[in-house]
Chains A and B, each alone.
Chain A
Amino acid sequence: MARKTECYVDTSALIAFLDRSDSYHPLFRQLFSEPPPMIMSALVVAEGHGWFLRRYDSRRALQFLTFLEVLPSLTIRMFDAGELAKTGRVVKKFADQGLTLADAHGLAIVAEHKIPICWSTDRHLALTGARLVI
């Protein structure tokens, strides 16, 4: 039987792992060395790709995509009309927090799957009670 999804991974966790300058790099290096079943929003993929494209170049952005392709135990949740409706409700609920759509979709996924842990350095991901690893 497949293991239950244990954690939600957001863009900040990926950048902390990939950028050795980040103060949380050692923590995420250790966490990703033995990854549990993970889930992330397709918007996280777009956000991470955009970060590499804007901060570096298309070569680095492609390497980011290749990294995700080889990362095991990862489920990427698509973002369709149904997800937009759920995510919109989260955005409205936390309208004062300035959530990005990627953050809000993450919170919707966490709530739906009752995921207890978020791999994130972004406090927004703890808004619904999930524990951040930092």
Chain B
Amino acid sequence: MIRTQISLDAHEYHLVKEEAHSLGISVAEYVRRAIRANLPPPGQGPWMKYAGLVESGNVRSSQSIDEIVYGTKD
């Protein structure tokens, strides 16, 4: 592991500390997990981190774009 130093504002630090505590992990581990979640999967291009960016709950999401963008006729 490479040791590094980051700066957080007080509010963010307290939020991170609370979240880490609730998960039973250290602040350092919490930060590592947050970084991993935002990096592309190993061996894949940076665009792959956007795969599954959202979860609409609609299995026909890609086939109902026009209803969202253009609306439906009255």
Contact = CB atoms under 8 A, between A and B. Distances in A.
Interface string B52-70: 1111111111110110111
Interface string A63-106: 11011001110000000000000000000000000001000000
A23 to B, nearest CB: 4
A12 B64 CA distance: 9
Nearest to A25: B52
B5 interface: no
A15 B61 contact: yes
Contact of A71 (B47, B62, B63, B69): B47
A30 to B, nearest CB: 10
A16 B61 contact: yes
Given A67-B50, A67-B53, A21 B59 contact: yes
Contacts of B63: 12, 121-122
B39 interface: no
Given A20-B55, A55-B68, A12 B62 contact: yes
B23 interface: no
Interface in A1-48: 11-13, 15-25, 29, 32-33, 35, 47
A31 to B, nearest CB: 11
6 contacts: A18-B52, A20-B53, A22-B59, A63-B50, A66-B50, A67-B53
Interface of A: 11-13, 15-25, 29, 32-33, 35, 47, 50-52, 54-56, 60, 63-64, 66-67, 70-72, 100, 121-122
